[in-house]
Amino acid sequence: MPPHDLAQISVLALACSLPVVLLGALVIRLARSWSMTVTMVALVLIPTLATLTGVLGASGFMITSTFAPIAVVLLIVAIVTLPAAVMLARYQARRTVWEREIHDAERMAEQSRRRLVAFVSHDLRTPLAGIRALAEAIADGVVSDDEVRVQAKHIEHESVRLSEMVDDLFEMSKINAGAVHAPYEKVALDEVVDDVIAAHKIAAERAGVHLTASVPADPVRVIGSDRALVRALSNLVANAIAHTPSGGAVTLALGSDASGAWARVDDTGVGIDETDLPRVFDVAYRGSNGRVPREDSSLPSGSGLGLAIAAGLVQAHHGTLSAHNTAHGARFEVRLPKSE
């Protein structure tokens, strides 16, 4: 073939295939906002169509004897590669979503760890400082013999408070690390409610709060850990008691519907500020409505992690925990899938 004919064929092929490539590049650029599947299909079709138009241009836009076989080969290549491109696009899209979710989870875990560190450095200092001051006063003889027993009782209360904080921090660290997994066991929620009421009955009486339970006649069963569910509901009840003034009431109700099992903790307390509702389950978050002051200093004061722990334990059971205000106070509702 003479050189000038080869140059002419090259120019015609380039002139016909280049617009296809440029148009394909534009489609890919626009496809970024569409979907990865469209992008992968375009990446397969662009070289195929560019080759086809290049061959057509090189033949002078005439269907020659060599054009038909080339067109058939290109058609077969497109038929084979298009499904593979679609599957690859879907896999890559899922992988991108997984990577984004992992990144978001790691970012949230890091933020949670930072909040925990800030919480530990701030809130643990208070009881530690109290214990140290009282111990030094007793050791230096500043406290009279008659007051030693009273101050020792204060040290005991602060020690119990520290122990509860450490337990909560340990539980919260397991939740943040994703190490909390509910076992596959049938749990009767009415028995869980009985344990929760028994655990908080004395504290409610000392706070002047009327604590009651409402359970259906038929047992409500879910799959999970009875210990974890007792912990979650106990945190909700303790929080309700802490925010309910003397003479008020806290009710732990249980039931089920078509959506699954539910447990509700209703109180007649100060309620939740609307601006606090979206963050009420955040780690160590304290809303603008504080706890009700108690004359009895031995009553549990909480660690600030109770609601976050409850939310983590409920989530480990594939359930949801929500909070909203009622006409008389606040309601925390746990929803769990029922066992078959």
- Digit-by-digit pLDDT tens for the chain (340 residues) are 455 556 666 666 667 677 777 777 777 677 665 666 666 666 666 777 767 676 666 666 556 666 667 667 666 766 666 676 667 767 776 777 777 877 777 777 677 667 666 666 666 776 777 788 888 888 887 777 778 888 888 788 778 777 767 776 777 767 766 666 666 788 899 999 999 999 899 889 988 999 999 999 888 899 888 888 988 999 899 989 988 888 999 999 999 888 899 999 999 988 888 888 888 887 666 655 555 555 555 555 555 678 888 888 898 888 999 999 988 889 999 999 987 6
CA distance 226 to 191: 9
pLDDT confidence of residue 16: 67
DSSP of 35-95, one letter per residue? -HHHHHHHHHHHHHHHHHHHHHHHTTS---TTHHHHHHHHHHHHHHHHHHHHHHHHHHHHH
Q: What angle do CA 153, 290, 163 make, to 5 degrees?
A: 35
Residues 6+ apart with CB under 8 A from 250: 204, 209, 210, 211, 212, 237, 240, 241, 244, 265, 266, 267, 268
pLDDT confidence of residue 196: 92
Largest CA distance in the chain: 119
pLDDT confidence of residue 68: 66
pLDDT confidence of residue 265: 95
State how far the alpha carbon of 165 is from the alpha carbons of 192, 288, 301, in Å: 23, 21, 10
CA distance 99 to 112: 20
Q: Are 230 and 171 in contact (CB under 8 A)?
A: no
CA distance 338 to 340: 6
pTM: 0.58
